[in-house]
């Protein structure tokens, strides 16, 4: 390959990414080149006339090639920012989504307002994946006792590594468990929050998802069965057993699923005040329900 400056390499990569229909072509090119050069995107502008070494150029265009095949940027770089923390990600875990921060922030606010007045809130993250929810809560709620489960041993391995990197490994108990079945009996009736971003895509919709998702993200993190709510149907009674009276079940779901999910939460068990929270696009995305006092 002939020698190229940073500016020329970015221009070339952007053009090829755009010609393959990637809408974020320029941004993707910048993120990938900054990753190769171990620098920031803004630095690329300062160094725009710098000639790239042959090795850097080869590595950069091999990453661009992966992106052309629709591999998500986060899997290529192995990192994703969530709640201002950097999580390692790989193809065994879902890439944490920005909207999931909304439910994490809701829990933090609830604990900080001490609506339940727990000195040491007990919080369970079901289907932890990369550990995004559990680890963020551990970082932002230093008084919380956190439990995190996942059915995937590979996901838990990465979640443990992330917890270690963020110095909260002693604050979280990770369990390889089907939903909450592995949580010790002594926690029954004691937890203040059960937070879940479980798979909720209806099985037959998965092949129609964007290639980045359907082709790369683990189907065990996406597949919610027939109508997408199979796992939540199982979780709701389990959560009721583990939650203290007045504790909260917080669930992330798809925008068209709120009515069906709400119908699985009878007022006799969950009180009247089931709330639907919206995501950044204004779409219904979360249900929070309080275990009857």
94 binds ligand SAM, rule: CB under 6 A: yes
Cβ distance to ligand SAM smaller for residue 67 or 80: 80
Smallest separation (angstroms) from ligand SAM to the CB of 251: 11
Contact stretch for ligand SAM (CB under 6 A) within 19-27, 54-62, 130-138, 236-244: 130-138
Q: What is the DSSP string of the chain?
A: ----BHHHHHHHHHHHHHHTT-TTHHHHHHHHHHHHTTS-HHHHHHTTTPBPPHHHHHHHHHHHHHHHTT--HHHHHTEEEETTEEEE--TTSPPPPTTHHHHHHHHHHHHHTTSS--SS-EEEEES-TTTHHHHHHHHH-TT-EEEEEES-HHHHHHHHHHHHHTT-TTTEEEEE-STTTTS-GGGTTTEEEEEE----B-GGGGGGS-HHHHTTS-GGGTB--SSS-HHHHHHHHHHHHHEEEEEEEEEE--TT-HHHHHHTS-HHHH-S--EEEE-TTS-EEEEEEEPP-
Contact stretch for ligand SAM (CB under 6 A) within 35-43, 91-99, 136-144, 258-266: 91-99
Site string (21-60) toward ligand SAM, x via CB under 6 A: ----------------------------------------
96 binds ligand SAM, rule: CB under 6 A: yes
Smallest separation (angstroms) from ligand SAM to the CB of 119: 26
Cβ distance to ligand SAM smaller for residue 124 or 126: 126
158 binds ligand SAM, rule: CB under 6 A: no
Summarize as ranges the residues that interact with ligand SAM (CB under 6 A).
Answer: 93-94, 96, 100, 126-130, 132-133, 149-152, 155, 178-179, 197-199, 220-221, 231
């Amino acid at each position: 390959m002939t020698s190229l400056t940073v500016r020329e390499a970015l221009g070339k990569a952007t053009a090829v990414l755009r010609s393959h229909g990637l809408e974020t072509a320029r941004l993707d090119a910048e993120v990938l080149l900054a990753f190769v050069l171990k620098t920031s995107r803004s630095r690329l502008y300062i160094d725009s006339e710098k000639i790239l070494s042959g090795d850097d150029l080869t590595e950069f265009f091999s990453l661009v090639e992966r992106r052309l095949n629709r591999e998500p940027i986060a899997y290529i770089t192995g990192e994703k920012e969530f709640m201002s923390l950097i999580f390692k990600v790989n193809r065994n875990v879902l890439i944490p989504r920005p909207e999931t921060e909304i439910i994490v922030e809701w829990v933090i606010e609830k604990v900080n307002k001490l609506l339940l007045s727990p000195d040491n809130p007990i919080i369970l993250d079901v289907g932890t994946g990369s550990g995004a929810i559990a680890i963020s809560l551990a970082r932002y709620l230093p008084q919380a006792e956190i439990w995190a489960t996942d059915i995937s041993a590979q996901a838990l391995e990465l979640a443990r590594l992330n917890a270690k990197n963020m110095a909260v490994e002693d604050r979280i108990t990770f369990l390889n468990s089907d939903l909450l079945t592995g949580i010790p009996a002594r926690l029954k009736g004691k937890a203040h929050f059960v937070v879940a971003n479980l798979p909720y895509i209806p099985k037959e919709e998965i092949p129609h998802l964007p290639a980045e998702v359907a082709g790369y993200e683990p189907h065990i993190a996406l597949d919610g069965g027939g109508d997408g709510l199979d796992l939540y149907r199982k979780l709701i009674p389990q959560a009721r057993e583990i939650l203290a009276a007045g504790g909260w079940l917080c669930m992330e779901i798809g925008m068209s699923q709120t009515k069906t999910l709400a119908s699985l939460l009878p007022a006799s068990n969950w009180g009247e005040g089931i709330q639907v929270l919206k995501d950044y696009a204004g779409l219904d995305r979360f249900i929070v329900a309080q275990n009857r006092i």
